Amino acid sequence: MTTRPVGLTRDLPAGRVMHAQADGKDMVVWRATDGTIAAWDNRCPHRGMALSHGFVRGNRLACLYHGWHYDRSGRCGLIPAHPDLEPPATIHATQYGVVETGGVIWVSADEAPAPDDSDLAPLRSFIVEASEDALRDAQEATSADGAPPAPEASDRVSVLCNPIEPGRTQVTVLTAPGLPLPRLRTLSRWCEAMRRQAEAKETA
């Protein structure tokens, strides 16, 4: 599995849970109260409930259904209906690799995802109801049309794609760090124009 960007660090504060998809895999990404992050298969080992509906309790993720708690390593540490029972070590969420660089959360089926290091800053992460090809075409078209004003070389815009399913792409846009707010707003409008064009092309 390729390393894929699935969201922005700022969108996943401590104690929060996020649903993510990459390369056909359904995932839960969550951050413990100590700030550490984990990415797992989005199925509770008990009866398969989506763990992305769960909630963080300290440094554990609790399943919404029967409340089983899983620690950062994925191992079950508490079964509320049997609080005195030591859960067997075999009860374990399936882990994926996860790393954060430059304000972006990356996941991989490999243990240690290693995306390119970059000094760019995250602008936006959003879903486009279109393929990556349509998105790339729209990226070129909006640049050519210049309305809203297309990115300039000094913006150092980078568009990352995570094709989560046919006709659906998660897009992460990075820019040069320290751009003034008006420029960031303009680039955000450009992102919207790109999204609209890609979706229009997809449905045409």
The residues binding ligand FES (CB under 6 A) are 44, 46-47, 49, 63, 65-66, 68
- Which residue number, 76 or 135, has a Cβ lying nearer to ligand FES? 76
Instruction: Supply the minimum distance, in Å, between the C-beta of residue 202 and ligand FES.
Output: 36
> Please, are residues 21 and 30 in contact by the beta-carbon 8 Å criterion?
no
CB of 105: closest distance to ligand FES in angstroms?
A: 24
Residue 31: half-sphere exposure toward Cβ, Cα within 13 Å: 17
Is 85 buried (19+), middle (13-18) or exposed (0-12) by CB count in 10 A? exposed
20-46 core/surface letters (b: 16 or more CB in 10 A; e: else): bbbbebebbbbbbeeeebbbbbbbbbe
CB 75, min distance to ligand FES, A: 14
Beta partners for residue 56, in sequence order: 61
- Minimum distance, C-beta of residue 60 to ligand FES, in the bound complex (Å): 12
Q: Which is nearer to ligand FES, 62 or 173 (CB)?
A: 62
Residue 86 β-bridge partners: none
Cβ proximity to ligand FES: between 14 and 79 the closer is: 79
Q: Based on CB atoms, which residue is closest to ligand FES, 89 or 181? A: 89
**Nearest CB to ligand FES, comparing residues 44 and 98:** 44
Phi/psi-derived region of residue 160, left when phi > 0, alpha when psi is between -120 and 50, beta in every other case: beta
CB of 88 to ligand FES, least distance (A): 14
